[in-house]
Amino acid sequence: MCLTVVFLFFLFCFEICIAKIDGGSRTEAEEKVYSWLYALAQTQRDMAFEYVRSTERGLSFNEAERRLRENGPNVPLEYTFPRWWHFLWTASFHPFNMILIFFSALSYITSDSPNGCIMLILVLISVCLRFYMEYSSSKAAMKLSEFVKSPVKVQRCAGRVIQTELIVQVDQRDIVPGDIIIFEPGDLFPGDVRLLSSKHLVVSQSSLTGESWTAEKSADIREDQSTPLLELKNICFMGTNVVSGSGTGLVVSTGSKTYMSTMFSNIGKQKPPDGFEKGIRRISLVLICVMLIVATIITLIAYFTSHQASDSIIFGISVACALTPQMFPLIVNTSLAKGALAMARDRCVVKSLTAIRDMGSMDILCIDKTGTLTMDRAILVNHLDSWGIPKEKVLHFAFLNSYYKTDQKYPLDDAILAYVYTNGYKFQASKWKKIHEIPFDFIRRKVSVIMETESNKEDKKSFQFHGRFMVTKGALEEVIKVCSFVEHIDTGSLITLSSEEQLRILNLGEQVSNEGLRCIGVAIKRLQTKNINQSMDSEETVESDMVFLGLITFYDPPKDSAKQALWRLAEKGVTAKVLTGDSLSLAIKICQEVGIRTTHVTTGPDLELLDQDSFHETVKKTTVMARLTPTQKLRVVQSLQIVGRHVVGFLGDGINDTLALDAANVGISVDSGASVAKDFADIILLEKDLNVLVAGVEQGRLTFGNTMKYIKMSVVANIGVVLSLLVATIFLGNEPLSPKQLLVQNFLYSVGQIAIPWDKMEEDYVKTPQIWSEKGLPMFILWNSPVCTLCDLSALLFLWYYYTESLDFFRSAWFVEGLLMQTLIIHLIRTEKIPFVQEVASWPVLCSTVVISAIGIAIPFTAIGDFMGFTSLPLTYFGFLVLLFLGYFTVGQVVKRIYILVYKKWL
């Protein structure tokens, strides 16, 4: 059944922010819910109808419709998926997009239409690419998280004179307070419910507690104020589901007035600011300031030398455009889209493209245990007698019990049968005949099967193969309660099960549990034929004076791939922390199997006792945290982010993981997870395999690295070129390049950068998490921009002293030198090593460099060059350029080595 109610509830959390990590006292809304539920839990069953103004027959259809209009649909908050225009808006309003649109408008105003058109085309390509990728990913995710209507059986009454009780199917959205619901195994409670009747009712509350254990519920109980809210046995909560049993209940709260809607009312989506986006905004502001200053100075200089206002303004705008990393949105979105396609090949749905980049920065991965590290299934490990010695007879009778029970089959039964069949045991179940069954329920916590085998001469001497027996298996402590005898370890004879023997067996069970195994007890009782002919009304009488045989132990094994994947993540600087609602001993066992350190472990209840500082310190050093509630998982994630300054990923697939998924920098779920978990995740895995995450981390770091290459290279080159233009304008007393020539140079340079997303990264770079440094980029610019300016000024001086031809010749030479310098700088910036010698770029980047350089060199010799005002250049000038760029790379490499010595990193 689809968890529609829970899915919609968590959207309520999306809208609310918290003021501090540690929460605080309950809100007024929470207090109202607590008081209301405790009042109903303490009252008699019949009086509960008075509280909600209902009757034992249920509500009439007219009254239910009136209450639905009054209270609204039974959802905490109506949810709609983001519309197409939301993605378009996000893709469009990027800082650099806005700068390009602004200068495009200025270009049109000053009649520089080609420049304005080119900038608009760049913006359009960038916006369309990001919009297409994110909208397509969103639609794919919507298909995964699509939910159907969830019908609920409701008792309503109809008739004007004589009212008739009817059982009808009503969608959970139309449930109102006062409705009487009928529920069976698998049903979801559509609201907070006061039980009216129950039969062996067991409910899973993992959506509230995160624990895999179940809770017993009963209608025939009146609670008191001292009972913890989630332990109230006559109250069932919205979003929890029926595991076994059946019953009826009175809906007392729906929608936003339920416990589940208010338990997290002080929590919500509070992801820390994205360091990358924050840094980009700051760089944008810096570039705008530099742009305004330099463009104004150059415009004034051009005006005072030429006295042409319009031409001077156009040239100033062209210089400002040259300072803008025009391809930034396109390069970033192309890199992210390329990463999304690569992850799609690894069977991942990427809902948020920026999550790929965050994967590259992630240094802590929080994971739930079940189904992520383990195979999420039970495997039989051993069959032990009461002394902890393996004994086949224990397995034999446990097998017969599982083979003949028919009421409900559980995973443990399947594990017992599979173990017997696959290990070649021949227990000959066909020789037995089932007589009766006392079914399992979560109050007795055991199941008994009575069977017999025909007497024969060979088996009469053997106790276990002759006559009629009752075989019981279930929770160890419950099985021991009905046992009076146990076999002696040496003689095999029956001895009385004393209190000392009971304690010894319970200690054995605890020892098994501490090893991370689950155990159940097995007992038998030989019956006389006449005992079975009597009524089976008294289960306590029949299930008594039994012989305790031993224990069956089970294990949820770790995945074969988990240990290797965690080791690969650790190699790449990603620390794994386990956050689970299961028991600590089981979590420790699994973590030891997969290689996660367990020297520092804790539990949710222990964390609750800590003050704020101790909490943060414990979270920092602890690797395994068990018995955590959804709120505690959220607090752990936020503590790591805000206090620890880590980039945190969270992998979870349950409803109880949703708050942590929402808060994490990278929320990761699986397509088999709960709908709400998938909706709040940034990445959805189509396979539960941690190796996919390793590939995602590598792809994220490749995306981050190529993005940083472009940012650093383009900003360094652009600032260096603009400073050169400023000096050249002052030195020449004229524009070193016309606006048209500067536009073409900038356009060719920008086109050549499109290949950067297809570049490779050095192995050392992808081995460590990559995080945006606020001080890194400014210092990088200060160190490297002067190298570009030095190269341009060297060309300026050479042209001034050795070529004194016309201004057209100077502009032609300056155009070629500037374009080659901006094209080749990517090879200097992209690696710590010596370019073309120790490290060579990928073939797309090499091809791009060759093609753009060839076009730039060829233009002055073509008709296009004549149209642009260029003249042909002598071969001696190209000889000078070879020497110039050898010097440029030499100086640049020296500056690079000094920079690395000072700051210990390059990109």
Residues 89 and 95: their CA atoms lie apart, in Å, by 13
Helix (H/G/I), strand (E/B), else coil: 815: helix
Angle at 377 between CA 373 and CA 379, to 5 degrees: 105
Measure the CA–CA gap between 846 and 259, rounded to whole angstroms. 62
Among candidate residues 368, 413, 441, 671, the one labeled active-site is 368
Kindly list the distances between the CA atom of residue 578 and the CA atoms of 368, 373, 501, 586, 682, in Å, as whole numbers in the listed order: 6, 9, 37, 12, 20
Which helix (DSSP H) or strand (DSSP E) does residue 691 occupy?
Answer: helix 690-732
**What token pair was written down for 29?**
């809304």
**Collapsing DSSP states into helix, strand and coil, what is residue 319?**
helix
Q: How far is CA 808 from CA 220, 410, 684, in A?
A: 99, 87, 58
The answer to whether the CB of 106 falls within 8 A of the CB of 120 is no
The per-residue DSSP string of 158-172 comes to E-SSS-EEEEEEEEG
DSSP for 536-585, written as a single string: ---HHHHS-SEEEEEEEEEE-PBPHHHHHHHHHHHHTTPEEEEE-SS-HH
- Beta bridge pairs of residue 154: 168, 181
Token pair for residue 336? 């992210």
Give the SS3 label for residue 432. strand
Helix 275-306, helix 95-109: angle, nearest 10: 20
Q: How many helices (H) and strands (E) does the chain have?
A: 33, 24
Q: If DSSP codes are grouped into helix, strand and coil, which group holds residue 746?
A: helix
Strands 575-579 and 364-367: parallel
Edge-first strand listing for the sheet containing 683-685:
348-350, 683-685, 666-670, 648-651, 364-367, 575-579, 624-626, 601-603
Distance CA 720, CA 726 (A): 10
Rounded to whole angstroms, the Cα distance separating 819 from 351 reads 38
Q: Determine contact, residues 224/38, Cβ cutoff 8 Å.
A: no
Beta bridge partners of 495: 486
Q: Tokens in use for 146?
A: 């699509």
Query: What is the C-alpha separation between 127 and 119, in angstroms, rounded?
Result: 12
Distance between CA 811 and CA 461 in Å, rounded? 112
Please enumerate in sequence order all residues whose Cβ is within 8 A of that of 565, keeping only pairs 6 or more positions apart, or say none.
689, 690, 691, 693, 694
Crossing angle for the helix pair 584-594 and 560-571, to the nearest 10 degrees:
70
Other C-beta atoms closer than 10 Å to the C-beta of 11 total 18
State whether residue 873 is helix, strand or coil.
Answer: coil
* Calpha distance 828→721 (Å, rounded): 16
CA proximity to 192, closest of 80, 74, 282, 311 = 74
What would the two tokens of residue 259 be?
Answer: 């416990």
- CB 870 within 8 Å of CB 808: yes
- Which tokens sit at 397? 């009778």
Alpha-carbon separation of residue 576 from 113, 368, 587, 677 (angstroms): 55, 10, 13, 20
Give rounded-to-5 percent helix, strand, coil for the chain.
Answer: 55, 15, 30
Report CA Rg, the chain. 37
> Active site includes 689?
no
Query: Which active-site residues does the annotation give?
Result: 368
